[in-house]
């Protein structure tokens, strides 16, 4: 469709065009039922089969073991910041009923805007206290979230109620590496010997962009759909069975009551159909994941995503050599493959980069209002051809401005 532009927004973002065409047919008639997907009952056999199929595709693509449930929720990644606290504090309460709230510790790994938001939410919740495992700003030359600290910096608590990290920081453009270098998540340093780890990961902006390292060691992985896999309105959860906690039993011991819609156990007991789920978002997500599977799955898209990011960082290197701009995250410090963030030294040049880009059909590249700069988000549906067009635009722009 030639009316469409290159959309590098941080989310919602591009979805595959073929999927959008199929979804428009599904809006009129879902899987031959004669009823559109936004009109059909979530309890119809056709939709129940569909939602189960989406869960099994995710299970197969990410190699999710039988110990973990795949659940569909609403409220976005942001609601999970409090939801994981409620569920995992209740779990901890059942395991250790005699501890004082001040002895119930939640560990936070601070690497950017979203993990900081999660920490703030936990601090508002009560029922436990937080501990900052590491604050990446202390390892930055300018006090910013611009790096993944190396492994020596992490200080986990001995028996925390949860350990939170954000795999890809969408605003700041930092991401844990998937290799075993010092910018990978330090799984080897996690407290051992106290039963299954309460490890929580926010994968909102990197879910299904590549395989998830150590997936089986996680208690909860959550992701809002609107970056890599679908429209806003759906949150995908991968929850280990020991985190399906009975809120009423924990409440008898003093834990906060968890609303039914936020209890992982309720979602699991009802096949994610306790109340009406985001039917349309689940539908489109299913189409996206099926297409990803047919293309070669997360291993295939991982290779594509690495090539895309490498091309953009290569032009950024040229811009740095010319003294025009600077990558927010230095090489080897945990650069994101999803959100490529950089700053022009001259703010007028920066503005021109954004407005000329829009005039050329490259949209959504202004940095987050809080951190400013330029951000190119290259989620799964952004194609290599589109990235090549962006690279050509950047090269031209740099030639004119150096």
Binding site for ligand PMP (CB under 6 A): 11, 76-78, 114, 166, 170, 202, 204-205, 224
11 or 160: whose CB is closer to ligand PMP? Answer: 11
Q: Which is nearest to 104 in space by CA: 158, 178, 166?
A: 158
Q: How far is the CB of 306 from ligand PMP (least distance, A)?
A: 20
Assigned token pair, 171: 């605003």
Q: How far apart are CA 129 and CA 134, in angstroms?
A: 16
Q: How far is the CB of 211 from ligand PMP (least distance, A)?
A: 18
Q: How far is the CB of 12 from ligand PMP (least distance, A)?
A: 9
Q: How far is the CB of 162 from ligand PMP (least distance, A)?
A: 16
170 or 398: whose CB is closer to ligand PMP? Answer: 170
221 or 398: whose CB is closer to ligand PMP? Answer: 221
77 or 319: whose CB is closer to ligand PMP? Answer: 77
CA-based Rg of the chain, rounded to a whole angstrom?
22
Q: CB neighbours (10 Å) of residue 141?
A: 8
- Residue 132 β-bridge partners: 108
Q: How far is the CB of 76 from ligand PMP (least distance, A)?
A: 2
Cβ-contact 148, 176 below 8 angstroms: yes
Q: How far apart are CA 139 and CA 378, in angstroms?
A: 27
Q: How far is the CB of 33 from ligand PMP (least distance, A)?
A: 29
104 or 335: whose CB is closer to ligand PMP? Answer: 335
30 or 114: whose CB is closer to ligand PMP? Answer: 114
Q: How far is the CB of 253 from ligand PMP (least distance, A)?
A: 30
By beta carbon distance, the residue nearest ligand PMP is 76
Q: How far is the CB of 249 from ligand PMP (least distance, A)?
A: 29
Which residues 6+ apart lie within 8 Å of 177 measured at CB?
148, 183, 184, 334
30 or 280: whose CB is closer to ligand PMP? Answer: 280
Q: Which is nearest to 14 in space by CA: 233, 231, 305, 282?
A: 231
36 or 75: whose CB is closer to ligand PMP? Answer: 75
Q: How far is the CB of 227 from ligand PMP (least distance, A)?
A: 7
Count of CA atoms in the C-beta half-sphere (13 A) of 85: 27
76 or 373: whose CB is closer to ligand PMP? Answer: 76
């Amino acid at each position: 469709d030639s009316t469409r532009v290159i959309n590098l927004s941080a989310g919602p973002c591009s979805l595959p065009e073929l999927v959008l065409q199929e979804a428009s047919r599904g809006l009129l008639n879902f899987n031959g039922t004669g009823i559109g997907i936004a009109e059909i009952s979530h309890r119809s056999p056709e939709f129940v089969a569909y939602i189960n199929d989406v869960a099994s595709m995710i299970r197969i693509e990410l190699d999710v073991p039988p110990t973990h449930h795949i659940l569909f929720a609403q409220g976005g990644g942001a609601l999970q910041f409090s939801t994981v606290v409620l569920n995992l504090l209740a779990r901890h309460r059942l395991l250790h009923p005699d501890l004082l709230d001040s002895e119930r510790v939640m560990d936070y790994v601070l690497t950017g805007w979203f993990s900081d938001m999660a920490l703030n939410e936990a601090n508002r919740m009560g029922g436990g206290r937080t501990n900052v495992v590491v604050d990446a700003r202390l390892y930055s030359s300018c006090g910013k979230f611009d790096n993944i600290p190396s492994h020596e910096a992490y200080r986990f608590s001995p028996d925390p109620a949860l350990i939170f990290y954000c795999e890809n920081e969408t605003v700041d453009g930092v991401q844990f590496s998937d290799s075993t270098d010092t910018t990978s998540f330090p799984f080897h340093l996690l407290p051992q010997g106290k039963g299954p780890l309460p490890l929580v990961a926010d994968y909102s902006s990197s879910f299904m962009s590549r395989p998830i390292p150590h997936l089986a060691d996680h208690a909860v992985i959550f992701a809002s759909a609107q970056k890599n896999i679908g429209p806003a309105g759906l949150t995908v959860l991968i929850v280990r069975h020991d985190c399906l906690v009975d809120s009423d039993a924990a409440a008898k011991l003093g834990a906060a009551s968890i609303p039914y819609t936020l209890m992982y156990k309720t979602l699991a007991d009802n096949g994610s159909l306790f109340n009406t789920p985001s039917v349309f978002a689940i539908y489109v997500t299913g189409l996206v994941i099926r297409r990803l599977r047919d293309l070669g799955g997360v291993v295939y898209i991982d290779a594509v995503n690495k090539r895309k990011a490498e091309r953009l960082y290569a032009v950024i290197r040229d811009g740095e050599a010319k003294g025009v701009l600077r990558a927010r995250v230095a090489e080897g410090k945990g650069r994101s493959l999803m959100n490529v963030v950089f700053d022009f030294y001259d703010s007028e040049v920066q503005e021109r980069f954004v407005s000329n880009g829009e005039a050329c059909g490259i949209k959504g590249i202004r940095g987050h209002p809080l951190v400013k700069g330029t951000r190119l988000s290259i989620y799964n549906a952004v194609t290599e051809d589109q990235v090549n067009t962006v690279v050509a635009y950047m090269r031209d722009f740099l030639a004119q401005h150096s």
